[in-house]
Structure formats: structure tokens, C-alpha cells
Amino acid sequence: MLNALSVDVEDWFQVGAFETVIGRDQWDSLERRVERNGEAVLDLFAEAGVKATFFTLGWVAERHPALIRRAAEAGHEIASHGWDHKRVFTLGEAAFREDLKRAHRAIADAAGVEPRGYRAPSFSIDARTPWAHRVLAEEGYLYSSSVAPVVHDHYGWREAPRFAFRPLADAELVELPVTTVELGGRRLAAGGGGFFRLLPYAFSSWAIDRVNRREGRPAVFYFHPWEIDPGQPRVSGAPLRSRLRHYSRLSAMRPKLLKLLKSHKWGRTDDVVRSERGRLA
Ligand SMILES: [Zn+2]
């Protein structure tokens, strides 16, 4: 079964965990590592022989169009991760539409193709944003992968379906939530990011197999370019919990990812959405 592989293209200083200590007005003064790290991700995908989706910040696409173009030319899907990583539930409907449009232009200019998929920063489409999927459909998006049907301290929409669904009765837009597993009455996030980096390899690999074989559905997995960059600058003022999450096991990440990419079948998110759409019709 084809699983959806994705990378959320943002730099080390753009993560939600550091939002309180690094303001957006500082971003342009910081060392940018996303291009080099993005190249390393392209090398990793080439080595594993997989195609994936690059959910790209407009802010990054505007400054590093060559990286985005190279990813598109290598056969990867280029999709949107919004303009500058503001969570959707902090924006309101009109500001969300503006954020989406601004990111769309920068990404389309860089990639040479229009993005048709969207991932909300920090999976921030939830019960507080009943207008978000409608705006995405109106702006021409075919799918979203922006919901985490789990409770977490930074995000989550516990009541959302765990697998692909159509959030709007009168539009074709598909929402493809990030992977969770149910175990002993509990629901656990198992779609990547810090969970993959911090937990044993066996957990993620088992979770993907369980979703594929027992539930007959594709897994949706993501990581970030900075997660394979042990040399990134350290942010000293951030909360200890955020620093532990952000910096643990960075050097082990690349071999761990390669193993995962070779152990399961992976592809672009739009291809997985296409196959899921068939069962929703
Ligand atoms: Zn992100």
C-alpha cells in the first residue's frame, strides 16, 4: 500500500516551539540552513528511490526558489505550508485567505507549478476553524493534510476522523489526517515529526504496518529538514521541554529515516489522496 511521505519545508528558527523567543521580525537576521538541509533531503529521497511532497512555506519559497524548483524537477510534489507558519486558528477567515494566497504566489513562482495541496502549520485546522476547508476549496486546493485527530499539548482535533474524509458536502476537497494508532483504548500520534525522532524506530514501523494491514489504509508521515541537521544553532532562551524535543537524536535521524523509507512503500501525498478519493465517492 502506498503511504504518503512529506517534508514540511521550514528553517530551524521557524518552528512553533520557538515562537515565543524568536520573533518573525528576527527571521531575516538569522542563519538560513533550509536550502542545504533541503538538498540533503533530496539526496535522502534519491538514495531511497522515493517521491514525496514538499509542504513549503511561502517565506522559504520566496528566498530559496532554486531549492523548490529542484524538488519539483526531481518529481516531487510541491504543496503549501502557508506563508510564515502562523497557526490557522490564530488567523481568522480573512487573514487565513490572505496567508494562503501570498504563499501560493511565492510557491507557484518558485516551483513552476501551482500547489494544490495544503498543510496547516502545526496541524492547526481544528474545531476552532470551521471556515478553513471552505477557504481552501474556494482557493482551488484539492486536498489538505492539516488535521491531527489526537490530543497533544500544541495541537489536535480529537473528534476528527482518523482517515481521509470530505469535510465539505458540496466540494471535492479531501482532508487526509496525519497518522494515529489506537492502542488499549488510547489514540497515539504516529505520523512522524518529533514522535518518530524521539521514540524507538520499531514503534513507527509497527504503527505504519498496523494502519496498512489491519485497517487497510495508507499512513501519512512527515518530518522537517532541520531534523537531519545536528549542526544547527541552539536557541538558549526556549523552554526546556521545547529544547529537549527539538535537539534530541538529530544525528540518528538520517539513518533512521532511510531505514523507514526502505521498509515501507512511499509516495507523494497527491497520489495517496487520489487513491483515497475513490473510496469516498
Ligand atoms: Zn511546520
Please write the tens of the pLDDT for every residue from 208-241: 999 999 999 999 999 999 999 999 999 888 888 8
Report how far ligand 1's centroid is from the alpha carbon of 225 (Å). Answer: 10
Report how far ligand 1's centroid is from the alpha carbon of 281 (Å). Answer: 30
Region class of 184: left (phi > 0), else alpha (psi between -120 and 50), else beta:
left
- The whole-angstrom separation of Cα 97 and Cα 94 is 5
What are residue 163's phi and psi, to 5 degrees? -125, 180
Look at residue 95 and tell me whether its pLDDT is greater than 90: yes
Q: What residues have a C-beta under 5 A from ligand 1, the ion? A: 8, 10, 121
Report how far ligand 1's centroid is from the alpha carbon of 10 (Å). Answer: 6
Mention every residue, 6+ apart, whose C-beta is less than 8 A from residue 63. 32
Report how far ligand 1's centroid is from the alpha carbon of 78 (Å). Answer: 15
pLDDT at 153: 67
Report how far ligand 1's centroid is from the alpha carbon of 181 (Å). Answer: 22
Report how far ligand 1's centroid is from the alpha carbon of 56 (Å). Answer: 9
Report how far ligand 1's centroid is from the alpha carbon of 8 (Å). Answer: 5
> Which residues on adjacent β-strands are paired with residue 220?
4
Outline where DSSP puts E strands in the chain. Answer: 3-9, 53-56, 77-80, 117-118, 143-144, 174-175, 180-183, 186-189, 220-223, 266-267
- 121, three cell numbers: 502549520
Report how far ligand 1's centroid is from the alpha carbon of 242 (Å). Answer: 15
> Which residues on adjacent β-strands are paired with residue 189?
180
Look at residue 152 and tell me whether its pLDDT is greater than 80: no
32-64 confidence digits (pLDDT tens): 999 999 999 999 999 999 999 999 999 999 999
Closest CA to 219 of 246, 257, 181, 185: 181
What are residue 106's phi and psi, to 5 degrees? -65, -40
Average pLDDT of the chain, as a whole number:
95
Look at residue 256 and tell me whether its pLDDT is greater than 90: yes
- The whole-angstrom separation of Cα 82 and Cα 11 is 14
Report how far ligand 1's centroid is from the alpha carbon of 11 (Å). Answer: 9
- The whole-angstrom separation of Cα 241 and Cα 20 is 13
119-133 confidence digits (pLDDT tens): 999 999 999 999 999
pLDDT at 171: 94
**19, 12 Cβ separation under 8 angstroms:** no
